[in-house]
Structure 1
Amino acid sequence: MKMTSLKMKKILQERLSDEAYKTSYNRDKDTFRIEWKDTGQGMTITLPNVVSKYNARGEAAIDDLEEHVSEALRIMHEDHHLSGMEKKIFPVIRATSFTTETNSGQKLIHKDHTAETRIYYALDLGKSYQLIDETMLEEEGWTQERIDEIATFNIRSLDNDYKQDTVADNDFYFVATQDGYDASRILNEAFLEEMLANAKGELAVAVPHQDVLIFADIQNKAGYDILAQMTMKFFAEGRIPITSLSFIYENKTLEPVFIMAKNHPEKK
């Protein structure tokens, strides 16, 4: 039987049934919204997207969605405090196009990173995390500098295991632990310096999406083209895409590069 948006809406209503929730359907936008009755906080699901995932993956797609929605609603209904949770605060890398405010209008704590990327801060809650906003800082009397120091220290404490691959005499290293902070490891300067010290050629770095960090030891011109194709593929497939550009790491700075037709890097 062919799945439709209306059938999917009915399935989600049954799966996410709770007396504390209110659900609604927007026929014009073909969306399904579920929210807490007492606060109005909730999330909107685009039904055709879910139908598409269902057609590709079957019931597993609905199982995943149910888990994510339930977790998100639970987090929305809890008060989270930073004091005593210092070891659970991490930086997260996002594209510069990423929002700087929560849905309720609170300003998210962030700072510039590169022309393509921005740093936000997350409170790790186990299966998910909450981005830290100004209100959370004000409640604790904390400064953004303190959050940045704590988060930077914590990212250095994570393991930096990677897999290596060699293509056309260029070495590529992939950090993909799936802990939610793979791309964030680009902020571990000691890690970058270690990779640079061991590089035979020029060191390039890429964060195409949240769950991967790529290092490339570029030893010939073909390396740049391979990295560009690799980064674009990861960017297109990522759950939270960041940037399809890669960066040259030198003098403790990251310079975005464009890969030109002749496989020669041109700094932006």
Structure 2
Amino acid sequence: MKMTSIQLKKILDSKLNEEQWRTSFNRDKDTYRVEWQDSHQGITITLPNVVAKYEQKGEKAIEELVFHIREALQVMNQTPTLQGKENAVFPVIRSTSFPTQTNAELALIYAEHTAETRIYYALDLGKTYQLIDQGMLEQEGWTEERVKEVASFNLRSLSTNSKHDQVAGNDFYFISTNDGYDASRVLNEAFLEEMRLNAKGELAVAVPHQDVLILVDVQNDTGYDILAQMTMKFFAEGRVPITSLSFIYEDKKLEPIFILAKNRPTPNKNTKKDE
């Protein structure tokens, strides 16, 4: 039997029953909100989206949701500090539709990336992280340049170990450590350059959601089709979706594949790519 929003609300009520929190259900919008009693800071969940994930993943979908709600609420009740935490600052990838300011209307620190993606900066808090805003910088006396330099340095310390699969003559590599920064590894230029130089064909990449980076040594046209289908599937299933488009990595730049499709050279699977 398919779960209803009312049934899901009752489950969440029982799992988020804390004296310091208040829960509410908006029947018209089909949303569920959890917030702190004193500050009214909280999270609003669109229930039909959770129901859809429940149909795919079962109880695990609800367990993940409750975990992330609890973690996010705890972060909201803290006053984070950058002082002495330089090694806990990392870049995170988001879509260009992601807000550029907090609910309190403080500007988030970000940098442009591609037409589809944007780079934000986060302070790692262990099981979760908080995006860095202008207020935090002013409080700590940091500059945007310092945040970006520190984040770039820390990114290079993250493992780039990947799982390898060969599909229809194309080599697929997946990085999915679930550390919150899997998609961020697309910003590791040295890593992408190494992958490109070792590719037999073209190097394509995708960041469908926060918790995966897909790299493909594309050696025939089927590889592009498989990557497109795979990226769309991952995008639909991701907890923090980014983009359903995939990119070609060339000359240290990322270009959406659909733009290059008409002029794309046919990779020669027997010849190593020119450096």
TM-score, scaled relative to structure 2? 0.87
Q: Which residue of 1 aligns with 2:30?
A: 30
Matches within 5 A, 1:83-162: 83-162=83-162
* Residue 3 to residue 184, structure 1, CA distance change in 2 (3 Å): closer
Greater mean alpha carbon deviation, residues 250-259 or residues 185-194: 250-259
Q: Which residue of 1 aligns with 2:189?
A: 189
Amino acid at match of 1:8: L
Amino acid at match of 2:218: I
Q: Which residue of 2 aligns with 1:74?
A: 74
Matches within 5 A, 1:213-224: 213-224=213-224
Other structure's SS at 1:258 match: helix
Deviation digits for residues 150-201 of structure 1 (CA, Å, limit 9, x no counterpart): 1111110011001222223222211112211111001111101111121122
Deviation digits for residues 221-259 of structure 1 (CA, Å, limit 9, x no counterpart): 332222222222222222222112222222211222218
Using the alignment, how far apart are the partners of 1:2 and 1:254 within structure 2?
A: 42
What is the deviation of 1:52? Answer: 4.6
Amino acid at match of 2:141: G
Using the alignment, how far apart are the partners of 2:148 and 2:24 within structure 1?
A: 40
Using the alignment, how far apart are the partners of 1:17 and 1:42 within structure 2?
A: 14
Aligned-residue identity in percent: 68
Q: Is the 8 A contact 1:258 1:265 kept in 2?
A: no
Using the alignment, how far apart are the partners of 1:118 and 1:138 within structure 2?
A: 22
Matches within 5 A, 1:56-67: 57-67=57-67
Aligned residues: 266
Any unmatched runs of 5+ in structure 1?
none
* Residue 143 to residue 8, structure 1, CA distance change in 2 (3 Å): same
Aligned-residue Cα RMSD (Å) equals 2.5
Other structure's SS at 1:178 match: coil
- Does residue 205 (structure 1) correspond to residue 205 (structure 2)? The answer is yes
What is the deviation of 1:263? Answer: 10
What is the deviation of 1:144? Answer: 0.9
What is the deviation of 1:57? Answer: 5.0
Q: Which residue of 2 aligns with 1:240?
A: 240
Using the alignment, how far apart are the partners of 1:61 and 1:220 within structure 2?
A: 36
Using the alignment, how far apart are the partners of 2:188 and 2:157 within structure 1?
A: 9
What is the deviation of 1:127? Answer: 1.4
* Residue 3 to residue 153, structure 1, CA distance change in 2 (3 Å): same
Amino acid at match of 1:91: P
Amino acid at match of 1:123: L
* Residue 67 to residue 236, structure 1, CA distance change in 2 (3 Å): closer
Any unmatched runs of 5+ in structure 2?
267-275
What is the deviation of 1:103? Answer: 1.9
Using the alignment, how far apart are the partners of 2:195 and 2:19 within structure 1?
A: 53
Q: Which residue of 2 aligns with 1:44?
A: 44
